[in-house]
């Protein structure tokens, strides 16, 4: 039985590893179009920033590891240009054909710069791949640009802004819409905008988006799309998000063909509808399930709560579930509160943490949350995510038994203060 995996990043390698573990007899080949495999692309902004000194530091496993330790063939510089499912084979750019019995598509996502005027200029970069980061780092060293324009105030835009600000550049972030981090949340936008201003990063909202602005250096951190061309040509269906439609076993519409990672949709646990939120953790989880399926096991990926976290010039911003506006668009009778509270006693260097919680007025169900602060952001965001996963109501959330001791927290955690305020609006 031959398993072919297209793509050797988080999803593809998780899939291959899982399949191997479940079926030692599978013949597994992973085809990767670039020379690089198994590196944490999420770490690229920190390479630009200087925290990561070399790209090799981001490599989790060297390419030899897979053949030697896991009996997985990983072929780099192997671009798949066509999938012929009736013949159960893929064609590589050199013309070679590789046969499969099971196929896992992890083609990821890409920037579509076709509609962006001026994108072809040599001072315009993306930051998504090893090669792109390497080129950008070289440009910074050679040309010493003074001003940078970042297109997009999503998480990559925020990471790029921090990285370049740390490198001493004057940074302007251009965002087409009126809000940041794709959250449609005026409260969050205001918090983030104020913090960027304190860090002397310019944020231009509702900015014109058709062409590259005047600057010494431009980073494109928008126009991100699921990379589904290959799949679409092979008859693999995409959903309303534009990403590949999959079952909870990561099956596509073609028998024996799975998809996982940034090219695929995921079920949103709050809305019950498919969404496209390309993130490394989701990709790894999807990959495991796809790999299990290809090896004949029946695992499932229930979906995501839409959790993300980003550092914005030292400030942690954690998001999960839906914002009030997003919840309203999904048909909920949404209501939100925002509170700010110290996370620890003053004598333990407690700092203010902002918490936003959103619920459905009709059912009291928690729908989403945001946590913003210098510390304790990931843990609190994750507590909200766990609550969303089990469809907790605000009343249940308000009574959560959270760990308390002065070096770690206050008697009333900011999460519980937020829940108390929200409960008042519901009763």
Choose between 116 and 246: whose C-beta lies nearer to a second copy. 246
222 closest CA partner among 105, 369, 315, 124: 124
Min CB(306)–a second copy separation in Å:
7
SS3 422: helix
Rank residues 226 and 316 by Cβ distance to a second copy and give the closer one.
316
From 61-69, 106-114, 200-208, 381-389, span contacting a second copy (CB under 8 A): 381-389
Which residues contact residue 382 at a Cβ distance below 8 angstroms, ignoring those fewer than 6 apart?
307, 318, 320
* Contacts (CB under 8 A) with a second copy, residues 249-278: 269
Nearest partner of 125 among 160, 154, 153, 159, judged by Cα: 160
Out of 38, 308, 326, 356, the only residue in the binding site for a second copy (CB under 8 A) is 308
Interface pattern 404-423 for a second copy (x via CB under 8 A): xxxxxx-xxx----------
Are residues 38 and 10 in contact, defined by beta-carbon separation less than 8 angstroms?
A: no
Binding mask 1-30 for a second copy (x = CB under 8 A): ---------x--------------------
Encoded tokens for 67: 């053949």
C-alpha R_g of the chain: 22
Q: Which of 126, 284, 326, 338 binds a second copy (CB under 8 A)?
A: 284
Output 141 or 347, the one with its CB closest to a second copy: 347
Quote the tokens at residue 411: 């008697």
**Considering the rule CB under 8 A, would residue 389 count as an interface residue with a second copy?**
yes
Task: Kindly state the smallest distance separating residue 32's Cβ from a second copy, in Å.
Answer: 18
CA separation, residue 136 to residues 121, 140, 143 (Å): 13, 6, 10
- Comparing CA positions, the residue from 226, 202, 223, 225 lying closest to residue 211 is 223
DSSP secondary structure string for all residues of 336-370: EEEEEEESS-GGGT--EEEEEEEEETTT-BEEEEE
**Nearest approach, Cβ of 138 to a second copy (angstroms)?**
20
Angle of helix 377-389 relative to helix 414-426, nearest 10 degrees, comes to 40
Rounded to an integer, what distance in angstroms lies between the CA atom of residue 395 and that of residue 62? Answer: 49
From CA 42, how far away is CA 25, in angstroms rounded? 33
DSSP characters over 252-270: -SSTTEEE-GGGB-EEBTT
- Measured from the CB atom, the residue of 254 and 413 that comes closer to a second copy is 413
Q: Name which position in 7, 226, 278, 318 contacts a second copy (CB under 8 A).
A: 318
> How many Å apart are CA 299 and CA 203, to the nearest integer?
44
The residue among 33 and 344 lying less far from a second copy, judged by its C-beta, is: 344
Candidates 34, 43, 216, 237; binder of a second copy (CB under 8 A) is 43
**10/63 with CB nearer a second copy:** 10
- 215: helix, strand or coil: coil
Q: Rule CB under 8 A: which of 86-105 touch a second copy?
A: none
Give the count of residues interacting with a second copy (CB under 8 A): 65
Phi first, then psi, for residue 286 (nearest 5°) are: -60, -45
Q: Which of 85, 176, 202, 311 forms a contact with a second copy (CB under 8 A)?
A: 311
CB under 8 A: which stretch of 64-72, 141-149, 353-361, 397-405 binds a second copy? 397-405
Closer CB to a second copy, 116 or 182, in the complex:
182
209 binds a second copy (CB under 8 A): no
**Complex with a second copy: residue 126 or 307, whichever CB lies closer:** 307
199 noted as active-site residue: no
Find the catalytic residue in 42, 78, 199, 313. Answer: 42
Residue 199 binds a second copy (CB under 8 A): no
SS3 content of the chain, % helix, strand, coil (to 5): 30, 25, 40
By CB under 8 A, name the one of 305, 323, 336, 338 that touches a second copy.
305
Q: Hey, which residues between 342 and 361 contact a second copy (CB under 8 A)?
A: 345-348
Q: Which has the closest alpha carbon to 161: 204, 206, 153?
A: 153
> Which sequence positions are flagged as catalytic?
42
Q: Which residues bind a second copy (CB under 8 A)?
A: 10, 40, 42-43, 46, 51-53, 57, 155, 159, 269, 279-282, 284-285, 301-311, 316, 318, 320, 345-348, 376-383, 385-387, 389-390, 392, 396, 399-409, 411-413
């Amino acid at each position: 039985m031959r398993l072919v995996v297209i793509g050797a990043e988080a999803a593809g390698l998780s899939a291959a590893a899982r399949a191997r573990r479940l079926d030692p007899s599978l013949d597994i080949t992973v085809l990767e179009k670039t020379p690089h495999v198994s590196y944490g692309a999420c770490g690229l902004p920190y390479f630009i920033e200087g925290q990561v000194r070399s790209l090799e530091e981001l490599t989790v496993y060297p390419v030899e590891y897979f053949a030697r330790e896991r009996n997985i063939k990983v072929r780099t510089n192997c671009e798949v240009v066509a999938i012929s499912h009736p013949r159960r084979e893929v064609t590589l750019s050199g013309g070679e054909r590789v046969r499969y019995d099971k196929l896992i598509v992890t083609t990821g996502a890409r920037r579509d710069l076709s509609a962006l005027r001026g994108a072809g200029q040599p001072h315009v970069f993306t930051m998504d791949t090893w090669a792109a980061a390497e080129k950008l780092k070289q440009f910074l060293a050679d040309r010493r640009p003074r001003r940078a324009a970042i297109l997009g105030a999503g998480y990559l835009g925020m990471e790029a802004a921090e990285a370049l600000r740390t490198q001493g550049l004057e940074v302007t972030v251009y965002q087409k819409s009126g809000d940041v981090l794709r959250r449609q949340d005026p409260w969050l936008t205001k918090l983030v905008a104020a913090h960027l201003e304190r860090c002397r990063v310019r944020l231009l909202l509702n900015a014109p988006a058709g062409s590259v602005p005047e600057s010494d250096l431009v980073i494109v951190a928008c126009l991100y799309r699921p990379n589904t061309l290959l799949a679409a040509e092979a008859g693999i269906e995409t959903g309303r998000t534009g990403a590949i439609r999959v079952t909870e076993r990561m099956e596509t519409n073609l028998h024996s063909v799975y998809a996982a990672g940034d090219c695929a949709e995921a079920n949103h646990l709050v809305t019950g509808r498919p969404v496209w939120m390309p993130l490394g953790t989701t990709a790894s989880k999807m990959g495991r399930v796809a790999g299990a399926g290809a090896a004949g096991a029946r695992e499932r990926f229930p979906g995501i709560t839409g959790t993300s976290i980003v550092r914005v010039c030292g400030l942690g911003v954690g998001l999960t579930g839906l914002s009030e506006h997003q919840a309203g668009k999904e048909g909920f009778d949404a209501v939100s509160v925002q509170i700010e509270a110290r996370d620890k006693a003053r004598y333990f260097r407690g700092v203010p943490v902002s918490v936003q919680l959103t619920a459905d007025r009709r059912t009291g169900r928690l729908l989403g949350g945001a946590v913003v602060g210098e510390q304790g952001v990931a843990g609190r965001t994750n507590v909200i995510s766990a609550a969303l996963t089990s469809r907790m109501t605000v009343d249940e959330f308000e009574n959560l038994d959270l760990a308390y001791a002065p070096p770690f927290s206050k008697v009333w955690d900011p999460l519980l203060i937020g829940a108390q305020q929200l409960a008042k609006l519901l009763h």
